[in-house]
Structure 1
Amino acid sequence: MDEPIFQHPLAYLLGLEGLALLRGWAGDYGENFTRERLAEVRQLLDDPGLTSHPGVPVARATLGAGYRRWAGDYDGPNRLFTLDEPFVHGVVDRLPAGVALDAACGTGRFAETLTRRGHRVIGVDGSADMLRVARSRVPSARFALGDLRRLPVADMSVDLVVCALALSHVASLEPVMAEFARVLTPGGHLVISDVHHELVFRGSVIAAPGPAGEPGLVPTYRHPPGDFLRAALAQGLEVRACEEPGLPTGTAPGPDGVGPWRDWPWSLMDLLPEARDAAWDVPLVINWHFQGAPRSSASR
């Protein structure tokens, strides 16, 4: 689809109210909550600052543009790291050291962790800018530019694959999961974290402004748990664990007011704290631990 995305602050705010009202409809809240939401909707529709806003056409940017801009401060405060690192570390700490692939390694966040735990680490990423940071951060690891759908890694050559917060940028999980299964040794482990599809649905998408600051967003796809399961089971991978952590409500700070496009949707959410807390009471990350079939089963 070539048509630009169109974002309007009133549309987002009404969407938040709609999600909150559906929570009330399902029985999570009582009559007062629902009536307050309806009153807020009327106020929003009567607000000239919102109704007269022209909205913003947003380009469908490239993944490379988004991560080129983000490489320098990717490791800055990121609440999603607090939701995937305990899970990934918990799995890795139970495994013996071996050869580990950090797929979509970014700036080497997990490559560094794996190296410290004694693994011989290979890092692969599609962003040269991110890899420059990773090489400086983990000089003992081997890094390569590559695509998750065509990993520059030999068959059955790694004991562990870690892939963190990357698969929401992949349109289809099947070819990526096939690559993970291909490079894993029999009985090898696959640990995945990803941006939860509910978080993407609520507008958390990486910005990639154009050369003159024109609004743009990187390609981002919503993968519910069933997508992961179908893709993994088709490759003979077995589920060892799955978690869908979130954060307490009211922990999504942002600038006050509608603000400029670069602050959306975070600035918009703070205009409707009660609706926001109801609409955003969802998981933010999905974490998976899969394991391949052992050698006896894999060779049949």
Structure 2
Amino acid sequence: MDDPIFQHPLAYLLGLEGLALLRGWAGDYDEKFTRERLNEVRRLLDEPALAGHPGVSVARGSLEDGYRQWAPVYDGPNRLFELDEPFVYGIVDNLPPGPALDVACGTGRFAEGLVQRGHQVTGIDGNEGMLAQARRRVPTAEFVLGDLSRLPVPAESADLAVCTLALSHVRSLPEVMAEFHRVLRPGGHLIISDVHHEQVFRGSVIAALGPGGEPGLVPTYRHLTGDYLRAALSHGLQVRACEEPTAVSAQSVPSAEPDLRELGLWREWPWSLLGLIPQARDAAWHTPLVINWHFQRSE
């Protein structure tokens, strides 16, 4: 589908309010919370800056552009790193060193940790900007340009493959799982961490701006838990662990009523919009942030 995406700040805010109201309907919140949400919806609808906003037409940008633009600051603070690194290293630290792949390695975040643990690491990524950062960061690892569906390494050449925050950009998982099975030795381990489909649904999508700064988004897909499971099992990868961690944060208690006219620029959406309805945001975003998998190739 090539038609542009249409994004409107009022539509986003009402969507979050709807998710929050459904949680109240299910019994997670009391009557006071629900009535506050209904009153807040009325305020949103009555605010001219929201009701009169023209909305934004957003292109379906490219993965290459999005990650090229992100590469210089990719290693900045990212709360998803706090949820995938303990899981990955909790498994890796119990495995003997050996040939390892960091698939969709980005700037070499995990390649660095694997090298430090004695593994012989090959990092693979489809973006030269990311690979340039990785080579500077981990000079003792090998980094090559490659695609997830056609990994540029021999069959049965790795004891371990790590792939994080990448599969949400893949339309179909089975061919990727087939590649992981091909490159792993019998008994080899595959560790995957990915953005949870609930986060993608709420707007956690990477921007890919056009040449003149035009709004665009990286192609991103919402894979359900069963999608990963079916793709892995059908290609001889057995499940060893699965976790869907949720970040723990205190409920917001706003000190003053937010200014509904302060919407921020499009490239700051949805993050700049979240502060406008903090209580609804906390309710609507209380979902898993990532999904973590540990698979093992059958002997």
Q: Does 1:141 align with 2:146?
A: no
Partner of 1:290: 295
Identical-pair percentage: 72
Partner of 1:46: 46
- Structure 2: distance between partners of 1:140 and 1:193: 24
Write the mapping of 1:1-300 to structure 2, written as runs, cut at 5 A: 1-249=1-249, 257-294=262-299
- Structure 2: distance between partners of 1:251 and 1:146: 43
Deviation, structure 1 residue 269: 0.8
Conserved in 2, the CA contact under 8 Å of 1:250 and 1:273?
A: no
Name the SS of the counterpart of 1:67 in structure 2.
helix
- Structure 2: distance between partners of 1:71 and 1:251: 33
Name the SS of the counterpart of 1:171 in structure 2.
coil
Deviation, structure 1 residue 251: 8.7
Conserved in 1, the CA contact under 8 Å of 2:251 and 2:279?
A: no
**TM-score (structure 2 length as normaliser):** 0.95
Deviation, structure 1 residue 250: 5.4
Code of the residue aligned with 2:133 in structure 1: it is V
Note closer, same or farther for the CA distance 1:25–1:251 as it changes in structure 2 (3 Å cut): closer
Count, aligned residues: 292
- Structure 2: distance between partners of 1:67 and 1:250: 32
Code of the residue aligned with 2:82 in structure 1: it is T
Note closer, same or farther for the CA distance 1:93–1:251 as it changes in structure 2 (3 Å cut): farther
- Structure 2: distance between partners of 1:249 and 1:263: 21
Partner of 1:298: none
Conserved in 2, the CA contact under 8 Å of 1:58 and 1:215?
A: yes
Name the SS of the counterpart of 2:209 in structure 1.
coil
Name the SS of the counterpart of 1:2 in structure 2.
coil
Bigger shift: 149-158 or 241-250? 241-250
Could you report, residue by residue, the CA deviation over 1:48-94 in whole angstroms, capped at 9, with x for unpaired residues? 11000010001100000001101111001111100100000100000
Deviation, structure 1 residue 143: 1.0
- Structure 1: distance between partners of 2:147 and 2:75: 22
Deviation, structure 1 residue 248: 2.1
- Structure 2: distance between partners of 1:290 and 1:197: 19
Query: Which aligned segments of 4 or more residues in structure 1 are displaced greater than 6 angstroms?
Result: none
**TM-score (structure 1 length as normaliser):** 0.95
Conserved in 2, the CA contact under 8 Å of 1:249 and 1:281?
A: no
Partner of 1:297: none
Conserved in 1, the CA contact under 8 Å of 2:187 and 2:298?
A: yes
Bigger shift: 48-57 or 28-37? 28-37
- Structure 2: distance between partners of 1:229 and 1:291: 12
Name the SS of the counterpart of 2:190 in structure 1.
strand
Conserved in 1, the CA contact under 8 Å of 2:245 and 2:291?
A: yes
Conserved in 2, the CA contact under 8 Å of 1:121 and 1:142?
A: yes
Could you report, residue by residue, the CA deviation over 1:110-148 in whole angstroms, capped at 9, with x for unpaired residues? 000110100000111000110011111111111110100
Deviation, structure 1 residue 249: 3.6
Conserved in 2, the CA contact under 8 Å of 1:249 and 1:280?
A: no
Could you report, residue by residue, the CA deviation over 1:20-55 in whole angstroms, capped at 9, with x for unpaired residues? 011011111121111111111111111111000010
Note closer, same or farther for the CA distance 1:47–1:76 as it changes in structure 2 (3 Å cut): same
Code of the residue aligned with 2:225 in structure 1: it is P
Q: CA RMSD in A?
A: 1.3
- Structure 2: distance between partners of 1:41 and 1:22: 14
Note closer, same or farther for the CA distance 1:251–1:84 as it changes in structure 2 (3 Å cut): farther
- Structure 2: distance between partners of 1:95 and 1:251: 39
- Structure 2: distance between partners of 1:44 and 1:137: 47
